[in-house]
Structure 1
Amino acid sequence: MTISSQEDLEKLRTIGRLVAQTLEAMGKALEPGMTTRELDDIGRGLLEAEGARSAPELAYGFPGATCISVGPDVAHGIPGDQKICAGDLVNIDVSAELDGYYGDTGASFAVPPVTRRVERLCRDGRRAMWSGIRAVRPGAPLNAIGRSIEGFAQKNGYSLIRNLASHGVGRSLHEEPESIPTWYEPRDRRQITEGLVFTIEPFLALGEDWVDELDDGWTLRPTGGGPAVQYEHTLVATRNGPIILTLAN
């Protein structure tokens, strides 16, 4: 969507803050021995206590309130009986609707103890996302985001998953502009317009560049089974720079 009023901005800030706080709480609750369903129940409770509805349930009939993926899975994992173990890499994606507005955020969490290689991957996953955010300004090409992220990845020896992309959001979970690459796509001639609301969510990996859907019809896993992380914010492009909507405070 494109923001057209202060009310739009405030409503987006409200749902953005809620999904961010939910993600933060789920990350803090994460511990070995708990199931992904127990973790999802925490997220559901926080969202529903504020009157929000799970966006993947609402939009797609997803079998859970949040997406929880335990490595090597990286996205759209279904909460269930799987127990989280020490050393796991867990991705949590929280998106929800409130008063007709949507917020979308996500992060990967390494459950200690983990290798320095995985710690570095998590640190640099966040840095990759912020490199894309810094490229946002009205009038700039949309592919400047992917150009910046890809530049960071190449400089630091990482790959990017290339069949998962960012997207427009606001009045629905996925809307125009659809499929915003987090790698450089020179054929993409779209521009960032003032007030545009969208996500930036690179999937940074150690050599992987593709995910496959598992037999459950939801879960996505890198083809080679290698580690990958995702970090995601929802933002709005303004002449004074991007406003990050999915901050917990």
Structure 2
Amino acid sequence: MTITTEEQLEQLKAIGRICALARETMAAAMEVGMTTRELDEIGARLLAEHGAQSAPIVTYDFPGATCISVNEEIAHGIPGDRVFREGDLVNIDVSAVKDGVFADCGASYILGKGDQRLVNLCRDGKKAMWAGINAVKAGAPLGDIGDAIGKFAKKGGYTLIRNLASHGVGDSLHDEPGEIPTWPDRSERRRMANGLVFTIEPFLSLGGRMADQKSEDDEWTLISRPAAPCVQYEHTVVATPRGAVVVTLAA
């Protein structure tokens, strides 16, 4: 999607806010002993109450309203019978559609008291996302995003998952301009058009480099290769001459 009218921007902000509210409501409700399915039901109810539909269900017939990934799972985790435990590293990814407009957001959380390495990883995962967001500007190279995130990751001694990218969003869940690297990529020659809508979502890791299917029986859930803790933070943004407008905010 490329925003050309104020009405489009307001519609995008509306669904962005709903996605953020769902994610934050789920994060606040998450507790030891709860199943991932129970947490997903909380998100599904909030989306329905605001007149929105789950984008993964609408687009891919995904078996859950949201994606909930725990510990070794780094993306697209299917809500089910898995029970949350103290110290779990949990990623909540919410994407939804309302009035034909899609938005997407995500964040990683530690349930209760967690390992200090994971605490630091979460802190820096969020910073990596903002490094990418701060590189957004209409007319600038799309490659600036991956360069900024890569510089931050390298300085902190982290790795980046290199086959899970940012993407266009708005008219559909995965929209033009397609995949956008969140790592340095010399082959990336495109530029950010004014009004372009896309996600910023680096996957920062303590050693992981690629995402791989969890098992033959699960076509959705992804894990890190090599195995390593990984976090994802994601906002939907609009490129403008003055920088990024972040639309997936709860307030």
Superposition TM-score tier, normalisation by shorter sequence = over 0.9
Q: Does 1:32 align with 2:40?
A: no
Indicate if the aligned counterparts of 2:55 and 2:102 stay in contact, CA closer than 8 A: yes
- Cα distance in 1 between the residues matched to 2:158 and 2:225: 16
- Cα distance in 2 between the residues matched to 1:108 and 1:240: 28
Structure 2 matches for 1:70-219, cutoff 5 A? 70-214=70-214, 215=216, 216-219=218-221
Structure 2 matches for 1:222-241, cutoff 5 A? 222-241=224-243
Q: Could you tell me which residue of structure 1 aligns to residue 51 of structure 2?
A: 51
- Cα distance in 2 between the residues matched to 1:245 and 1:47: 16
TM-score of the pair, normalised by structure 1 = 0.99
Identical pairs, percent = 57
Give deviations 1:165-196, integer Å, cap 9, x for gaps.
Answer: 00000010001111100001111100011000
Partner AA of 1:75 in structure 2: A
3-state SS in 2 of match to 1:83: coil
Structure that is richer in strand per residue: 2
Q: Which moved more, 1:17-26 or 1:109-118?
A: 109-118
- Cα distance in 2 between the residues matched to 1:160 and 1:224: 12
Partner AA of 1:221 in structure 2: I
Q: Does 1:63 align with 2:63?
A: yes
* 1:87 Cα deviation after fit: 1.0
3-state SS in 2 of match to 1:237: strand
Aligned residues: 249
- Cα distance in 2 between the residues matched to 1:111 and 1:51: 29
Partner AA of 1:109 in structure 2: Y
Q: Which moved more, 1:62-71 or 1:218-227?
A: 218-227
Partner AA of 2:15 in structure 1: I
Superposed structure 1 runs of 4+ greater than 6 Å apart:
none
3-state SS in 1 of match to 2:184: coil
- Cα distance in 1 between the residues matched to 2:242 and 2:224: 37
Q: Could you tell me which residue of structure 1 aligns to residue 246 of structure 2?
A: 244
Partner AA of 1:7 in structure 2: E
- Cα distance in 2 between the residues matched to 1:224 and 1:243: 35
Partner AA of 2:126 in structure 1: R
3-state SS in 2 of match to 1:242: strand
- Cα distance in 1 between the residues matched to 2:53 and 2:180: 25
Indicate if the aligned counterparts of 2:139 and 2:241 stay in contact, CA closer than 8 A: no
3-state SS in 1 of match to 2:146: helix
- Cα distance in 2 between the residues matched to 1:225 and 1:111: 21
- Cα distance in 1 between the residues matched to 2:16 and 2:53: 13
* 1:225 Cα deviation after fit: 2.4
3-state SS in 2 of match to 1:217: strand
- Cα distance in 2 between the residues matched to 1:178 and 1:105: 17
- Cα distance in 2 between the residues matched to 1:203 and 1:224: 14
Partner AA of 1:222 in structure 2: S
Q: Could you tell me which residue of structure 1 aligns to residue 41 of structure 2?
A: 41
Structure 2 matches for 1:16-31, cutoff 5 A? 16-31=16-31
- Cα distance in 1 between the residues matched to 2:157 and 2:226: 17
Partner AA of 1:229 in structure 2: V
Partner AA of 1:213 in structure 2: Q
* 1:224 Cα deviation after fit: 2.7
Q: Could you tell me which residue of structure 1 aligns to residue 15 of structure 2?
A: 15
What are the ranges of 5 or more consecutive residues in structure 2 without an aligned counterpart?
A: none
What are the ranges of 5 or more consecutive residues in structure 1 without an aligned counterpart?
A: none
3-state SS in 2 of match to 1:218: strand
* 1:211 Cα deviation after fit: 1.2
* 1:59 Cα deviation after fit: 0.2
* 1:223 Cα deviation after fit: 1.9
- Cα distance in 1 between the residues matched to 2:191 and 2:242: 17
CA RMSD of aligned residues (A): 0.6
